[in-house]
Structure 1
């Protein structure tokens, strides 16, 4: 019992003693991050202008709308420069244009849970309304390189028409009238190949034709025409000592519009495949006849032979680069391969009926996809060859002018094909989920434009000795910019 007695006294003493102990842990001081002041190293942003096409304008999700313009990369840059930046804003977040109350440009895309869908709403931005300038953002969606110097271009392009200083104004004329002190010249050359790509290569490669007034809307611009236009613009912009950043042209076939739809999206069971093969028996036999006349060789017979099997099947396409066998009544058909690129828009017709009364008229199976839905390897080569030529000019002009920095947008997009880091995010070119490319499969998301702005700032640091990449809040933050806009945003 004595042991318990003394044990109780010991515990009581311990309890009384412990009341005097400080059990609170000392607070861990927060790490103090030293603020780094921005040093522009003499760059003059007092009159900052941006010249370009849809990327410069902030075009997103298949349309121009107010929120996207506010998240354009030039507007993000201006916020880092601390300078005023006036844009020709649309009236709403619906996107599109109306003429006399009738929609003439479509509304923006939103994600409906399954894929991109257009907003079911009427735009409120009137095409004929001319805004009061001057403006700092001269992004004109759809503009090709040689369009920027065309007098009266606002009559041809309603987006420039909304901000043109007069009916006879040119983009470059209005830009130079402001005597810019700093500028960006971006995606010049992009539309010179994009129209061709979005038409499935149904335009003409105009290499060797130095007269752009004879070009169609889907044609590829001759590299010499591009070189003359681009070097002339840079010379004019830097004549009074202004500095600026130019961007090279990415391989647009890396964009989601050309990589989302697989070449073999047709699922068939064995019975259906057999029935389809029966339908193509005469066509396949005709190829052997053509070979017997030495019109094609065995390799082309194999390339053009159409065969379906149980499982996933390649679509049937028209390939105008095949030998013309129309004299034998044989069309230029073959099945797509992994080397072909199907346009995003083709997903809306593949598997549907060309003739609702004919169950055999399934697009991609019984009815071949036309040239406008597919980029063949030869058409891809045409795009790449022109793009490489444009980029050779851009690099040469930038390297020969000390007032110019160049951002490698081509390299950025190439890296994003597998994943590019941006703060805590990894952006890819995948549609909807990638975070870089918007719902139209071509233009960037707001977060993508923020990344583009940061790449421009980094190129300025490297060329001009500024410190945006290390200054406090010198760069845009990924989390401040969305990848998709709500359908409720109007």
Structure 2
């Protein structure tokens, strides 16, 4: 009997074991391949670029944003295959901004960071309810370069070659950059020179050309910050400068990834402020339409163009079209269009000095984000008849009219043609199409793991509170696009092996008390 029961027990154990094996075999177990580097040597990775490369976000650079910069995210993946240390010129705090001798430097790019104030972006000082002074001070705590992350916020293409860009004495003439001053290896160093001093075996060259058009856009195309021409010598024209940067970086056999330039007018900095935000009651609208206000201007337009037609300077069709474009009219509504200056209009001041080149905005016009806090203020404090954007037209610096947008697009297209040509002709270069990525963000949105990101301010998840630079999650997505490009060009398998950034590990918003 004992022998019988022992045999039955063994039989049952055997059936159970078979069932367990069968159950395990039915489970889907994903086995990822081992990470391989392909033809790339990651032992010395150097990142060259501007704000995106540095990790600039929420209108500032600070420790947390630098740690979430896309080059630092990439370096964490490269470390798995023997990459060396990746050094960054970390700021002194998480406040953002730069001071000089205990005095906060003026300007939006060197001020403490923006934070979410409940309804929208606000300065950190507003959220904390107290003044904020950056502890990153050029007079007392500069670092000694060079670094692996050579991202310099605000740098244009030719700035990377300028040997006075890190000289503190040049700050007074605005020919130096405070971010490079604090990280340059010497007062006469260049960004490219310091990058080459790290003897890169692999590099990223990102958003070169972005600031070359961004400065023009941020100033509303008013002429105070011109677009870098495509043509011209090295250090002057974009084409020759970009080619020189790539040639130098690859001169010792290094491989790298470059990016093209996105259409910056797709960014929420230029798409958030509506063209028609003015609420008016019936009485106010009637007054603005009266002869005492814009009624006289409208009548003057008819007279001036009648004169131009009579002397053969305009056809009647041309005159009628411009009169319709320039006629200013308000209504009892919550969405009246603002009044703007438009230098593309016919100059009528020689006929009538009161007929300035102004019109009401349309949906084709784009406004810089800072216009949101300017429209509706008083040009003359205490005088209700001097409302900016209504009684007082908005100056050129607040708005990008269609012709200015076309200028930006033409320059961007020219830059991108050069970048694509350089990448295509050089077997050591891969290309990331940032332009297509931003267009996708702005149109349909992008899925990143279980999250969907778009190009809306505050809520979109990809673009930070300044409306231009990325969030930490946006930089993580950007890092993954670099890894995809490296895999495709050089035969590595970062994506296939699962060695990529995960969306959940990167925030879209930083706390004021960070």
- Fold-level similarity (TM above 0.5): yes
Quick check: 1:70 aligned with 2:67? yes
Quick check: 1:256 aligned with 2:268? yes
Alignment of 1:3-14 (within 5 A): none
Tell me, in whole angstroms, the C-alpha distance in 1 between the residues paired with 2:338 and 2:479.
40
1:265 maps to which residue?
A: 277
The partner residue of 2:257 within 245, 260, 273 is 245
Structure 1 residues 343-366: Cα deviation after superposition (integer angstroms, max 9, x where no partner): 110000111111122111111111
Quick check: 1:192 aligned with 2:193? no
Tell me, in whole angstroms, the C-alpha distance in 1 between the residues paired with 2:427 and 2:209.
22
Quick check: 1:176 aligned with 2:173? no
| Deviation (angstroms), 1:31 | 4.2
The partner residue of 1:45 within 42, 46, 65 is 42
1:285 maps to which residue?
A: 299
SS at match of 2:180: helix
Structure 1 residues 7-36: Cα deviation after superposition (integer angstroms, max 9, x where no partner): xxxxxxxxxxxxxxxxxx999766432132
Alignment of 1:314-463 (within 5 A): 314-327=337-350, 328-329=352-353, 330-417=355-442, 418-463=444-489
Tell me, in whole angstroms, the C-alpha distance in 2 between the residues paired with 1:380 and 1:135.
36
For the aligned residues, what is the CA RMSD?
A: 1.5
Tell me, in whole angstroms, the C-alpha distance in 1 between the residues paired with 2:28 and 2:96.
45
Structure 1 residues 173-205: Cα deviation after superposition (integer angstroms, max 9, x where no partner): 1111222100000000000000000000112xx
Contact 2:145 / 2:194 at 8 angstroms: preserved in 1?
Answer: no
| Deviation (angstroms), 1:325 | 1.2
| Deviation (angstroms), 1:261 | 0.5
Tell me, in whole angstroms, the C-alpha distance in 2 between the residues paired with 1:455 and 1:478.
13
SS at match of 2:166: helix
Where do 5+ consecutive residues of structure 2 fail to align? 1-18, 126-131, 168-175, 232-236
Alignment of 1:114-263 (within 5 A): 114-120=119-125, 121-128=132-139, 129-155=141-167, 156-203=176-223, 218-224=225-231, 225-263=237-275
Relative to structure 2, which stretch is displaced further, 66-75 or 115-124?
115-124
| Deviation (angstroms), 1:427 | 0.6
| Deviation (angstroms), 1:269 | 2.0
What is the TM-score when the length of structure 2 is the normalising length? 0.86
The partner residue of 1:305 within 327, 332, 338 is 327
2:112 maps to which residue?
A: 107
Tell me, in whole angstroms, the C-alpha distance in 2 between the residues paired with 1:201 and 1:322.
15
| Deviation (angstroms), 1:98 | 1.0
Tell me, in whole angstroms, the C-alpha distance in 2 between the residues paired with 1:242 and 1:251.
29
| Deviation (angstroms), 1:77 | 0.4
2:54 maps to which residue?
A: 57
| Deviation (angstroms), 1:292 | 1.3
Structure 1 residues 186-234: Cα deviation after superposition (integer angstroms, max 9, x where no partner): 000000000000000112xxxxxxxxxxxx6x11010111000000111
Contact 2:146 / 2:195 at 8 angstroms: preserved in 1?
Answer: no
Contact 2:379 / 2:392 at 8 angstroms: preserved in 1?
Answer: yes
What is the TM-score when the length of structure 1 is the normalising length? 0.90
Tell me, in whole angstroms, the C-alpha distance in 1 between the residues paired with 2:337 and 2:500.
45
Tell me, in whole angstroms, the C-alpha distance in 2 between the residues paired with 1:288 and 1:133.
64
Contact 2:146 / 2:197 at 8 angstroms: preserved in 1?
Answer: no
| Deviation (angstroms), 1:132 | 2.4
SS at match of 1:439: coil
| Deviation (angstroms), 1:42 | 2.9
Tell me, in whole angstroms, the C-alpha distance in 1 between the residues paired with 2:178 and 2:392.
37
Tell me, in whole angstroms, the C-alpha distance in 2 between the residues paired with 1:273 and 1:462.
60
Alignment of 1:460-479 (within 5 A): 460-472=486-498, 474-479=499-504
Contact 2:32 / 2:496 at 8 angstroms: preserved in 1?
Answer: no
Q: Which runs of 4+ in 1 moved over 4 A?
A: 25-31
SS at match of 1:453: helix
Where do 5+ consecutive residues of structure 1 fail to align? 1-24, 204-215
Tell me, in whole angstroms, the C-alpha distance in 1 between the residues paired with 2:86 and 2:344.
48
Structure 1 residues 264-321: Cα deviation after superposition (integer angstroms, max 9, x where no partner): 1111122221111111011111101111111661111110000011211110000011
Tell me, in whole angstroms, the C-alpha distance in 2 between the residues paired with 1:391 and 1:134.
29
